[in-house]
Structure 1
Amino acid sequence: MKATMVFLLFFALISCRSSYTSMEDKPKGSNIVESKNGEEYELIIIDPGFDRWFVSNRRPVNFHELSFYENQNQRYVQAWNEKVSQQGLYGPNSPFENRIDYDPAKAYGLELNYKLYYYFKYIEDVYGNRYNFPM
């Protein structure tokens, strides 16, 4: 396999924190991290509600082709990063805090694209109307 996908969900980090989190305490950087060997990528999702939502709302990984997930993720990432650049408009509890460095030229594989697509669907479902997430 050209690239192995590894997914890490950091729910313990969020559950151990108090309900108030300052901007300095929140993680910064991308949600897609490349391994040292350049062949593995991991998707880091810190939102504690995503895992439960994902289990009850996902479809099988092969429900769509890889190209569908890639095309949708390009649209979502562009909208997401626009929201991040306008962060002051959305307040401290906005989900749009970290840029997502999704490069369409990289082969992230089906698993990472699948999970990222459903993370965006989760954001639409939970926050879409409040933040006007355009999808």
Structure 2
Amino acid sequence: MGSFLIISCNSNKNFSSENIEKLTSDTIHISNPDLEYEVVIFDAGFTSWFNSFARPKNFYTQSFLEARNRIWIMEWNNRFRNPLRYGNIYDMPIEYDNTINYGYHVNYMIYNYLVYFQMTNKQQLGGFQARI
């Protein structure tokens, strides 16, 4: 089962965006020591899914990604705290502070992972269905 974790502090820097990104590893590690955050995604199927289905960068606005991520992460963490009700597929909480600007790239990767997770596991984390 895949999972990911965010550890964060302050971030006000946006990443430059390239329209086409291909992943090459089953472990995705995004970090920037200057901004003191880290995103790690461990999931054997995510790389293939991302390379096949993810919309190009800048397809969505950062505010759209942040809005979806906030709702989905809040529900993810709720399910993590209630394993008897939701099972053990939510194997770790996601630390995501709504007051921090993680930038486009981080939100883009989180969004895509959450879409992948919901579609692969037939889950719905928010009031709307994940779609590509």
If the length of structure 2 is used for normalisation, what is the TM-score? 0.69
Candidates 14, 21, 26, aligned match of 1:11 = 26
2:5 alignment counterpart: none
1:100 alignment counterpart: 94
Residue identity in the other structure for 2:13: K
2:103 alignment counterpart: 109
Contact 1:34 1:41 in 2 (8 A): yes
Shift of 1:11: 3.5
Q: Percent identity?
A: 31
Candidates 71, 75, 79, aligned match of 1:79 = 75
Structure 1: stretches of 5+ with no match in the other structure: 13-30
CA distance in 1, matches of 2:64, 2:25: 27
Aligned length: 109
Larger radius of gyration: 1
CA distance in 1, matches of 2:85, 2:31: 27
Contact 1:69 1:117 in 2 (8 A): yes
Contact 1:4 1:41 in 2 (8 A): no
Q: Indicate the structure with greater helix content.
A: 1
After superposition, the CA RMSD in angstroms is 3.0
Contact 2:13 2:102 in 1 (8 A): no
Structure 2: stretches of 5+ with no match in the other structure: 1-11, 17-23
